[in-house]
Structure 1
Amino acid sequence: MNQVKYLIVGVSLLFLLFGCAPQQPQEVHLQGATMGTSYNVKFAPSENVDPEDIHRQIDAALIRVNALMSTYDPNSELSKLNQHRSAEPFALSPETVAVLREAVRLHQVSDGALDITIGPVVNLWGFGPTQRPDVVPSDALIAETLATTGIDKIVLADNSIIKNEPNLYIDLSTIAKGYGVDVIAELLIAAGITEYLVEIGGEMRVAGNKMSGQPWRIAIEKPVSTERAVQSVIEIGNNAIATSGDYRNYYEQDGVRYSHLINPITGKPIQHNLVSVSVIHPSAMTADGLATALIVMGTEQAKAVAELNNIAVILISKSGNEFIQWTSSTFDQRVNVVTPHQIGN
């Protein structure tokens, strides 16, 4: 399972800030490895809940997600689909169908900025399983590769998929990590746990309060690669949060900076000044996909799409040496921004 690695979008770290509080019994804290990263789960102890049993259930659930959706496991359901060259229907599990349907919906919402078939182009630029290219891909090679991509080349049914392009390659890395968070959250709810924190590689979903009675407080990292600093501290209620950024995962060649974030329409790394996007949504899967889509768009288009679709989002753009923060009207209505005075309480 540790060999399963998903595309890392530069979120970097979403981490908790704990204020001063009286001594409390310790929360249950379960940890493990999954999807090439780690997971953390926290909730209050209860006589009706066996933490060891919950831990086993979490590991089994995440193993199941990887067995279905990993592109690094050649025997996963998704890998077998990618190896399938026929136009005949390919049978899929209900879980994979559900994730694919959400990816298709977000493709439409984002005007094509989220495209789960763009993996071969990502590989051209050296941000997939392959190594960094010796030379920058030519326009001709990019166009040739783009011709084999496109969500319009798949047809989804209740329990199967048809690929109208035999070489179509699907990569769910922009959405599967958030899906894993949702799977664990629903597992906890089924066990009667209604106040919790679930985090996988920076994508997070919370409900209720900490044992101290305070809401879960989440810090969004300042989008700089030279240090770890806090941009904003927020309380998101019973929601998930996902962040996408391009300030850590990139390389430079001949004086040009190449981001790992590839525009599915141009087939080239993004070149705008939007450096970090954090989306708040009830579903971590949806937040995960939207964060990637919005940062690919750039500031102005991301603002328009967020307002049109009532997306709670915080955008951070860079202007010279300064960062400019913008929040959508839905963000302002649903999210509480914590002041430094509140953090100290």
Structure 2
Amino acid sequence: MPKTCSEPRHRLHLHGPTMGTRWAVSADVGPHLDTAHLRQALADAVDEVDHQMSPWKPASDLNRLNAQPVGHWLALPAPILLVLARALEVARLSAGTFNPAVGALIDAWGFGAARRAPDPAAIRAAAGEPAALAHVALELDAPGARARRLAPVRFDLCAIAKGYAVDRMIEVLAAHGVQHALASLDGELRALGPQANGEPWPIAIEAPVAGQRRTHGVIELEDLAIATSGNYRHFLDIGGQRLSHLIDPRAGAPVRHALASVTVLARTCMDADAWATALLVAGPAEGFELARRLRLDALFLLRHDKGWTEIGLGRFAPGSERDAPA
């Protein structure tokens, strides 16, 4: 039987704008919590991530790093150094299917801050830059709180920074004594404990249908994070051709395969966010093998003529290989 809290609790909902979307928190809290102070602390935490890691803000620490001459050290705050370090590790473990050193390609294809549509000249220029995996294009000096680029590439942290922002919200909630909460930002979520009634937090997994909001299934979270990466929600339509916002760094172009979405469970939302991207970019066969080898909890939805097929690993395994209707 689920355990319940002895102190009376009520459901608190907080939200606000950040990173071109909105953050949100649902929490079961006691009567003495300073709600206004908590909301401000949450907003400050996500805004700090945005100010450090946004490719859209000219003065962000990420853009300062991209503007720093190759080989020159740049002092950086601890949060972005932490995210860069994890991004480099996922890049190494994924053999480059997750590669934050593709900022120029993202902009060239119209998904970054520079332009809203593909630019053939920019694509050729970006493809002509020296190919470099992130973990060999950047050197980090954690004790010295600094970093330096080792190749003329531009870094982009959009596939991991939102997940990290969710982790920061969880840290803020815990610091304020909250024990039962769900934090989200865009499609990334993380649960802090169960609900106050002892039940896990139910999370809907979206069906990969463009232009619609449909539920594929539901999973329950308790002290876990979840993130989904898909090619059906954010894309450009160029002359009737749909271009995914996810760039395959190996091809220098948007991903093109039957994998519609990947959902990953992890202890941190930063990891769930990064690995969902890495597995989707890798594609059905390579992504599944990568997830299997690293023992990731991952759900793959593969598109076909009659709908999509579900293949799951780890916590998703019991529902694997079931066909869903279109």
**TM-score normalized by the length of structure 1:** 0.84
Per-residue CA distance 1:270-302 (angstroms, 9 max, x = gap)? 110000111000100010000111000111111
Partner of 2:222: 237
CA contact (8 A) 1:239 1:283 kept: yes
Partner of 1:63: 47
Distance in structure 1 (CA, Å) of the matches to 2:176 and 2:119: 52
Per-residue CA distance 1:241-286 (angstroms, 9 max, x = gap)? 0001001222233443321111011101111000011100010001
Deviation at 1:77, TM superposition (A): 1.5
Report whether the alignment pairs 1:164 with 2:150: yes
Partner of 2:324: none
Distance in structure 1 (CA, Å) of the matches to 2:203 and 2:246: 24
Report whether the alignment pairs 1:250 with 2:235: yes
Per-residue CA distance 1:110-161 (angstroms, 9 max, x = gap)? 1100111101011111111133446656985453145477441211111111
CA contact (8 A) 1:120 1:145 kept: no
Q: In 2 relative to 1, CA 87–139 (structure 1 residues): closer, same or farther, beyond 3 Å?
A: closer
CA RMSD of aligned residues (A): 2.2
Partner of 1:122: 106
CA contact (8 A) 1:245 1:295 kept: yes
Report whether the alignment pairs 1:189 with 2:178: no
| Count of matched residue positions in the alignment of Structure 1 and Structure 2 | 310
Q: Which has the higher strand share?
A: 2
Q: Percent identity?
A: 32
SS at 1:206 equivalent:
strand
Distance in structure 1 (CA, Å) of the matches to 2:315 and 2:219: 14
Of 70, 93, 115, the residue aligned with 2:77 is 93
Partner of 1:13: none
Report whether the alignment pairs 1:104 with 2:79: no
Distance in structure 2 (CA, Å) of the matches to 1:253 and 1:69: 29
CA contact (8 A) 2:204 2:216 kept: yes
Partner of 2:21: 37
Partner of 1:10: none
Partner of 2:189: 204
Unaligned runs of 5+ in 1: 1-23, 336-345
Distance in structure 1 (CA, Å) of the matches to 2:129 and 2:243: 18
2:77 aligned partner, one-letter code? S
- RCO higher in structure (CA 8 A, sep ≥6): 1
Q: In 2 relative to 1, CA 306–147 (structure 1 residues): closer, same or farther, beyond 3 Å?
A: closer
Higher deviation after alignment, 126-135 or 152-161: 126-135
Deviation at 1:86, TM superposition (A): 4.6
SS at 2:316 equivalent:
helix
Partner of 1:342: none
Distance in structure 2 (CA, Å) of the matches to 1:321 and 1:226: 18
1:186 aligned partner, one-letter code? E
CA contact (8 A) 2:259 2:302 kept: yes
Deviation at 1:27, TM superposition (A): 0.5
Distance in structure 2 (CA, Å) of the matches to 1:162 and 1:142: 20
1:308 aligned partner, one-letter code? R
Of 67, 83, 86, the residue aligned with 2:67 is 83
Per-residue CA distance 1:31-57 (angstroms, 9 max, x = gap)? 111111101111112144211111111
Distance in structure 1 (CA, Å) of the matches to 2:118 and 2:36: 48
Per-residue CA distance 1:62-113 (angstroms, 9 max, x = gap)? 2221221122221221121111125221111111111011001100121100
SS at 2:308 equivalent:
strand
SS at 2:253 equivalent:
coil
CA contact (8 A) 2:105 2:127 kept: no
Partner of 1:219: 204
CA contact (8 A) 1:44 1:195 kept: yes
CA contact (8 A) 2:189 2:225 kept: yes
Partner of 1:267: 252
Distance in structure 2 (CA, Å) of the matches to 1:274 and 1:43: 34
**TM-score normalized by the length of structure 2:** 0.88
SS at 1:44 equivalent:
strand
SS at 1:78 equivalent:
helix
SS at 2:254 equivalent:
coil
1:322 aligned partner, one-letter code? G
Partner of 2:38: 54
SS at 2:101 equivalent:
coil
SS at 2:247 equivalent:
coil
Partner of 2:158: 173
2:150 aligned partner, one-letter code? N
